[in-house]
Chain A
Amino acid sequence: MKLKFSILLFAVFSCFSLSAQDVDEIVNAYIEVIGGADAIKKIKTQKTDLTMTMGPMELGGTMVAASPDKSRTDIDFQGKSFTNAYNGEVAWMINPMMGEDPQKMPEAEAEEIKNRKFEPEFIDYKEKGHAIEYVGTSEVEGAECHELKMTKKDGTIEHHYFDTENNVLIMTKTTIKQGPGKGQQAETYLSDYQEVDGLMFPFFMETKANGQSVMKMTFKNMVLNPEIDESIFDFPGAETKADDGKEPAASKEKEMEKEGKSKGKKGKKKANK
């Protein structure tokens, strides 16, 4: 009466969990292809121009990032700027369509920018507290891929797909954690890898939700280790608490003015040049 049977998926999984070095082999090969851990670790800041395409709409802008997790994106529109930024403590934004004052991002919107790490998560992933499992091969945009499942230190699960031919990352699948889209999968496709100072970067990224394109980003003029005044990442509004309740870095309204990002004069708001 006893019928016990194993499951194919389980069997495949257990076979691969026996050879965990395969995971490292894939991860290490990828790190080598994009320039090697030592070279990547020397990069502390990055700046790039970008074009964002959403349906027929096309907008240009700039993205600046600094180690370990700071970033700022400014998208230009008719002399105004859509801004998203994170200084490691506070995620904030400016949406000129809703008025030009900087706003702290609601948690659901802040999730992505706060989790963006400057250094690829694969480098020293074990030390960072992440775990990676080999899932199997699958097809991404017609390319055969190794699928790796990364369980991050905070429990977040991401699936990464490495082209079996070249060993580069061509897709990442994440799960939206908050808001009405909670539980929905977002896929980011990477291509147009190009060399900058001996390192390889994807110069094209496309985000899809439910198989439908949401946004495309094309990069150009990427500069590594530019000098950056890191105050540009800080929330310009004064005396606000960090998202985690900590006191933020001092407000840098003055530096912002120098950057020409927000000026007030004679009751009239002044546009950027």
Chain B
Amino acid sequence: MYKKIIPKLLLLVSFICLDELQINAQEANEKKSATISGKSLFGSLRARQIGPAVTSGRVSTLDVVERAPETMYIGAGGGGVWKSVTAGAQMRPVFDDYTQSIGKIKIDQNHPDTIWVGTGEPWVRNSVSVGTGIYKTTDGGGSWEFKGLPNSERIGDIIIHPKNPNTVYVAVLGQMWSSNTERGIYKTTDGGDSWEKIFYIDENTGCTDLDIDPENPDVLYAAMWSYRRYPWSFDSGFTGTSGIYKTTNGGAKWKKIHKGLPKEKLGRMAIAVAPSNGNTIYLSVEAKEKDDKGLYLSKDAGKSWERVSNDRNVTIRPFYFSEMVVNPKDEDKIYKCGLNLTISEDAGDRFRTVNSAVHSDIHAVWVDPNNTKHVIIGTDGGVYESYDDGYTFKMYMNLPISQFYRISVDMDEPYNVYGGLQDNGSWYAPSSKSGGITNSDWQATFGGDGFYSFRHPTDENIIFSEYQGGNLVRYNKETGRAKEIQPFPENADDKYRFNWNTPIHISPNNPEKMYFAAQYLFSSEDKGDTWKTISPDLTTNDPKKQEQHKSGGLSIDNSTAENHCTIYTVAESYKSENTIWVGTDDGNLQVTKDGGKNWTNVVANVSDLPKNTWVTSIEPSRFDANTAFVTFDGHRTGDKKTYVYKTTDLGKTWTSISTENINGYALSFRQDLVNENLLFLGTEFGLYISIDGGANWSRFENNLPKVGVRDMVIHPRDHALVMGTHGRGAIILDDITPLRQATEEVFAKKIHFFDIEPNELSDPGAGGGWFGGAGNFVAGNPNSDAKIIYYMNKRHTFGKMFIEVYNDKEELIRTLPAGKSKGINIVNMPTQMERPKAPPSNNPQALFGSIFGPNFPAGKYKAKIVKGKESYETEFELKYDPDSPYTAEGRAVQSEATLKLYDMVEQLSYIHGSLSEVKDKADELENDDIKELAAISEKAEKLADSFVGMGGDFYVDSEEELGELVSTLYRQVSSYPGRPSNSQLQRLESLQKAIAKLETKYKEVIEKDLVAVNDILKTKSLTPIVLTTKEKFLEDK
């Protein structure tokens, strides 16, 4: 019954709400598309997040449970919401299924499991992401409910009514790149089920900041801001409608309170009411005139204002730094976020700035009301905490919310990952490391804002990196020095226009050739010492879009971030060195077939694309010289559609390969190296994969949040898709080979096995971390186990399903659980026999010694999936690492010795087991008339006890008898893949002799004493004692 009702109701509901809920409905529809859902298709394929956390990334907001400050929520500019219940010792993301750009987090302090998250960062720099509304949890982040405001784009503040938690006020900045009406102040009185817009100025003015009177919750203050960003400039102040407002009746009426404030046009402001005195209010004011801007103070609840400071740190870059709080206990003490955190203890007269070990650019600050010396701040480089009143801070080293612009890899083993980070320089790290990838494995190659970073294809010491404004450097790993190698114009009066994220491109055909671009394209074949200009100005060269020196509105903000009419992406064809593609930020798509002599702008051939739409990526096909894929991004003019196009005739005609179910504007694109129909698309809201050349797309969700995927690269040797995300660092899909084999035919089969490469047996090595305690991020390694991978067209729910593993002699060697999902299942194959059954021991060394079985030898193995009455077979192969130092002879000696020791362990186990059985069975007869029973019981027990150490404290008071000696030697020999030492081999022999002696005594009990006892039992018509056979005993490990 409900099966029929549900779709109808859904249809009805979505129909009714269609106008207002487009974005939300889109999200819901995503799972209902005609394509196979990502969850079904990708099954147990899982992405791996490797950081870095050493840099962390931009934190936009944070909140802490006041009564229990070990619980906190951190909101990142592009990396979601993180929760700690351990005062930062451990952090985990709790918002991965939702938009990762976070505007404001607010905990209901009276119900601390209720948290509101407003998405869309309010620190509106050029590279900022977008939000999709407000969300709420009532179980501490376990689950979230979308609560509306889908078109708000950015939420600057949230105020929860202190007595009625269902009443909430929300400051909506509104869309940054365009006008819209969903902005101003919203109020709910029913916990977010419905909203009323209670204050609105116009479609260009939003609310950035709210505060509430500590005594009277009907009194609120609001900072309204008129602002706009264009692809080429920023305007704070914009239409002149910014202002400060107050309500005394819960938002029904708002009154402008400007007495004492500058008469000129105002910009972004922050307002903070002293929690200890509602009449004391601080206001930071952005204005053009130096004598007007600064910190203002009202002592009469906003009736009048007086300027108290124009300190640089108070006035600097208001669009980026506007957060301010007043000490919970002291109305004269204020904390203002800025380039640094600055603290005044005398109501703004004098300021002190926090220490220089803290990353600059502060966006969030929290002061513990129960210990005001305890201060936590959020910066462009993560979270820092002080317990000494903000003098010194310790960094949280476990927040991998770094924002990559670009990503690349080299061919080392393991390969390294390179990339540049927003405000956090350029870095590289190994893609795997014994014990995991730690903070100290990341190496910096340059500072500033990082973007593209590449290892030279042939010179392992050279890494090209850059910093903002087109400053290219050549870093030498050997010397640790970087040489600045950017091209300069011939004529000193001329100027190159470099994009904020200036493209560096390494030729795929000629490792010595690289490209760099301003409005012109340059190439170099001597590692950047000499540059050749190989194009005319390829942009629109529109002078109106080249006034970045005037950008900023009231406060000039000329950081090169607004440089425009620049080349943004460069790609040389994989098939032809002379075919080069160039895309510009002002919407030109240029191609040359003759190495730059002639260029054609082909963007006019792209249908249904608004003019001047930013070209975000170009991917020439690996399979055909005339085929290319291009993504465009119009979000900087308010157009958030997904534009993905394909040409097969070098740009003359284009076909859209975007589909309705893709969410987010397009940022990056890759075609697979092997299967031309396997395509990867990065959007603002995650990774999409098509296995049919772009006809259908599915979002990849497993450990890949809805984060902006800015760049991707496929590792040609390791078949890994490496992504640079703008908020969650580098994320790797370690093995995409199953996707290469995924086709409609595969999906039709009940079970389909994917071909897999032979697995190199990893020789266990020492290494790994030491005792660093909690608090440091460690990324996991790729799974190096042998595995089988299969696609199943339906989830297995009824009946048995398991996997049997056979060796080349068709002997069943292991049985293990199967993966049951519809979609791709990855099951790790064992590479070890079952552990030996060992005699009991209370010696930890010996006990741990027999935990693992001996390694399988290299060779072919068969895996059989048994599913109900049916079975499906596949093979997998194990091989030794050809680069390992262990010889075949050494491995053979090791294997022989290991198996001998394995048998010795089991022999001792059996002797112990059967002696115990003799004792138990003799005792069970409880026949005092036969004195031989007591005698054999005592003798068997004594002998059994004689070779196992069962006393002690399982630590420093452990016994070591024959059983322990054998188990320990088994561990030593079996865990080292090469030839055992001669001492070990001699030891083996001496232990064999000791076992032989024991066996003699054992035989005496079994073959003499027990036979005699059984004879007596028989004569008395009693059942003789029969012992379990060795085979049976060892069956049950």
A and B are interacting partners? yes
Give A4-18 interface residues, CB cut-off 8 Å to B: 4-12, 15-16
Is the beta-carbon distance between A8 and B28 smaller than 8 angstroms?
A: yes
Tell me the residues in window 182-212 of chain A with beta carbons closer than 8 Å to chain B beta carbons. 182-185, 189, 191-194, 203-204, 206, 210-212
Q: Does A240 contact B (CB under 8 A)?
A: no
Distance between B938 CB and nearest chain A CB, rounded to angstroms: 12
Q: Which residue of B lies closest to A4 (CB)?
A: B194
B contacts with A, residue count (CB < 8 A) = 93
Which residues 41-79 of A have a CB within 8 angstroms of B?
Answer: 53, 55-58, 60, 78-79
A242 at the interface (CB under 8 A from B): no
User: In the assembled complex, which residues on chain A have CB atoms less than 8 Å from the CB atom of B194?
Assistant: 4-7
Q: Please report which residues of chain B, range 12-44, place their CB below 8 angstroms from some CB of chain A when the two chains form the complex.
A: 13-14, 16-17, 20-21, 24-25, 28, 31, 37, 39-40, 43
Residue of B nearest to A191 (CB): B820
User: Cβ of B488 < 8 Å from any Cβ of A?
Assistant: no
Q: Known contacts A142-B823, A175-B142; decide if A4 and B800 are in contact (CB<8 Å).
A: no
Is the CB–CB distance between A56 and B917 below 8 Å? no
Map CB proximity to B onto A229-269 as digits: 1 under 8 Å, 0 otherwise: 00000000000000000000000000000000000000111
Query: How far is the CB of A146 from the nearest CB of chain B, in Å?
Result: 8
- Chain A contact-residue range equals 35 or more
Residues of B within 8 Å of A2, CB to CB, are 196-197
Any A CB within 8 A of the CB of B729: no
By the criterion CB–CB under 8 Å, are B822 and A211 in contact?
Answer: no
Tell whether A142 pairs with B40 under 8 Å between CB atoms, given A180-B85, A204-B817, A268-B950. Answer: yes
Known: A22-B1, A194-B799, A218-B817. A271 touches B197 (CB 8 A): no
Q: Does B945 contact A (CB under 8 A)?
A: yes
* Stretch among A85-93, A110-118, A121-129, A161-169 lining the B interface: A161-169
Q: For the complex, is A105 an interface residue (Cβ under 8 Å from B)? A: no
Contact at B92–A184, with CB atoms within 8 Å? Answer: yes
Q: Does A270 contact B (CB under 8 A)?
A: yes
Does B90 sit at the interface, judged by CB under 8 A? yes
Report Cα–Cα, A4/B85, bound state, in Å. 36
Specify which of B24, B193, B800 is in contact with A192 (CB 8 Å cutoff): B800
Q: Is A31 an interface residue (CB 8 A)?
A: no
List the A side residues contacting B197 at CB < 8 Å: 1-3
B1037 CB contact (under 8 Å) in A60, A157, A170: A60
Contact between A7 and B193, CB atoms less than 8 A apart = yes
Q: Complex: how many Å from CA A127 to CA B316?
A: 63
* A-facing residues in B777-820 (Cβ within 8 Å): 785, 794-802, 816-817, 820
Assess A268 versus B802: contact at CB under 8 Å? Given A11-B13, A53-B816, A193-B797: no
Q: Give complex CA distance A9, B830 in Å.
A: 45
CB–CB B195/A78 < 8 A: no
Q: Which residues of A contact B951 (CB under 8 A)?
A: 267-269
- Specify which chain B residues have a CB less than 8 angstroms from the CB of A57 in the assembled complex: 851
Contact A15/B799 with A7-B148, A58-B816, A60-B1037 known, Cβ cut-off 8 Å:
no
Q: How far apart are B429's CB and chain A's nearest CB, in angstroms?
A: 22
Binary flags per residue of B33-60, CB closer than 8 Å to A gives 1, else 0: 0000101100100100000000000000
Least Cβ–Cβ distance between B322 and chain A, in angstroms: 26
Chain-A contact segment, one of B439-447, B477-485, B557-565, B835-843: B835-843
A137 contacts B by Cβ under 8 Å: yes
A191 pairs with B801, CB closer than 8 A: yes
Interface centre among B16, B85, B841 (most CB of A within 10 A): B85
Which of B2-10, B644-652, B1018-1026 binds A?
B2-10
CB under 8 Å from chain A, chain B span 903-959: 909, 912-913, 916-917, 920, 945, 948, 950-951, 953-954
Residue of B24, B785, B832, B841 touching A78 (CB-CB under 8 A):
B841
Q: When the two chains form the complex, which single residue of A175, A180, A189, A203 contacts B800, counting CB atoms closer than 8 Å?
A: A203
Q: How far is the CB of B2 from chain A (nearest CB, A)?
A: 4
Q: Among the interface residues B830, B850, B945, which one has the most CB atoms of the partner chain A within 10 A?
A: B945
Looking across the interface, which residue of chain A has its beta carbon closest to that of B825?
A141
In contact, B798 and A8 (Cβ under 8 angstroms) = no
Could you tell me if A79 and B798 are in contact, using CB atoms closer than 8 angstroms?
no
Given A1-B200, A183-B140, do A143 and B1 touch, yes or no (CB 8 Å)?
no
- Give every chain B residue within 8 A of A157 (Cβ-Cβ): 139, 142
B174 CB to nearest A CB, Å: 13
A8-B21, A206-B817 as given contacts; A269 in contact with B950, CB under 8 Å: yes
List chain A residues, Cβ under 8 A from B847. 78, 80, 97
Q: Is the CB of B839 within 8 A of A143?
A: no
Q: Contact partner of B795 among A55, A79, A141, A183, CB < 8 A? A: A141
Q: Does B83 contact A (CB under 8 A)?
A: yes
The answer to whether A192 and B796 touch across the interface, beta carbons within 8 angstroms, is yes
Q: A235 to chain B: closest CB distance in Å?
A: 21
How does the 8 Å CB contact mask read for B200-238 relative to A, with 1 for contact and 0 for none?
A: 100000000000000000000000000000000000000
Q: Which A residue's beta carbon lies closest to that of B181? A: A3
CA distance A193 to B801 in the complex (A): 10
B141 located at the interface, meaning its Cβ lies under 8 Å from any Cβ of chain A in the complex: yes
Task: A1 to B28: give the CA distance in the assembly, Å.
Answer: 29
Which residue from chain A places its CB closest to the CB of B795 in the assembled complex? Answer: A143
Judged by a CB distance under 8 angstroms, whether B621 is at the interface is: no
Taken together as a complex, chains A and B put the C-alpha atoms of A25 and B6 apart, in Å, by: 14
Give complex CA distance A33, B293 in Å.
72
Give the chain A neighbours of B623 by CB distance below 8 A. Answer: none
Q: Say yes or no: is B660 at the interface (Cβ < 8 Å to chain A).
A: no
Is A109 among interface residues, defined by CB-CB distance under 8 A?
Answer: no
| B601 at the A interface (CB under 8 A) | no
B762 to A: closest C-beta gap in Å: 12
Q: Which residues of A contact B196 (CB under 8 A)?
A: 2-4
Interface flags, B117-150, vs A, CB<8A=1, else 0: 0000000000000000000000111110111100
Q: Which residues of A contact B736 (CB under 8 A)?
A: none
Given the complex of chains A and B, what is the CA–CA distance between A10 and B28 in angstroms? 13
Q: How far is the CA of A136 from the CA of B839 in the complex (A)?
A: 54
Please name the residue on chain B nearest to A142 by beta carbon.
B822
The reply to whether the CB of B86 lies closer than 8 angstroms to some CB of chain A is: yes
The answer to the question of B360 belonging to the interface, with a C-beta cut-off of 8 Å to chain A, is: no
Contact A8 B13, beta carbon cutoff 8 Å:
yes
- Tell whether, in the assembled complex, residue B797 and residue A168 are in contact, meaning their CB atoms are under 8 Å apart: yes
* B657 part of interface (Cβ distance < 8 Å): no
Q: When the two chains form the complex, which single residue of B9, B13, B838 contacts A79, counting CB atoms closer than 8 Å?
A: B838
In whole angstroms, what is the CA distance A74 to B89 when docked? 34
A139 close to B (CB within 8 Å):
yes
Interface string of B1001-1037 (1 = CB under 8 A from A): 0000000000000000000000000000000000011
B991 within 8 A of A: no
A218's contact among B31, B802, B844, by CB below 8 Å, is which? Answer: B802
Q: List 22 A-B contacts (CB under 8 A).
A: A6-B193, A7-B24, A8-B14, A8-B21, A12-B10, A57-B851, A60-B1037, A96-B954, A99-B954, A134-B2, A139-B40, A140-B795, A142-B794, A142-B821, A142-B823, A146-B2, A175-B142, A194-B799, A211-B703, A269-B842, A269-B951, A271-B840
Residues of A within 8 A of B (CB): 1-12, 15-16, 19, 22, 25-26, 53, 55-58, 60, 78-80, 96-100, 134, 136-143, 146, 157, 159, 163-164, 166, 168, 170, 175, 180, 182-185, 189, 191-194, 203-204, 206, 210-212, 216, 218, 267-273
| Other A-B pairs beyond A22-B5, A141-B820, A142-B37, 15, CB < 8 Å | A1-B197, A5-B194, A8-B13, A11-B13, A22-B1, A56-B852, A78-B840, A100-B842, A139-B40, A143-B822, A157-B139, A164-B3, A183-B140, A185-B142, A191-B796
8 residue pairs, one from A and one from B, having the closest CB atoms: A142-B822, A271-B840, A79-B840, A141-B821, A142-B40, A143-B795, A22-B2, A5-B20
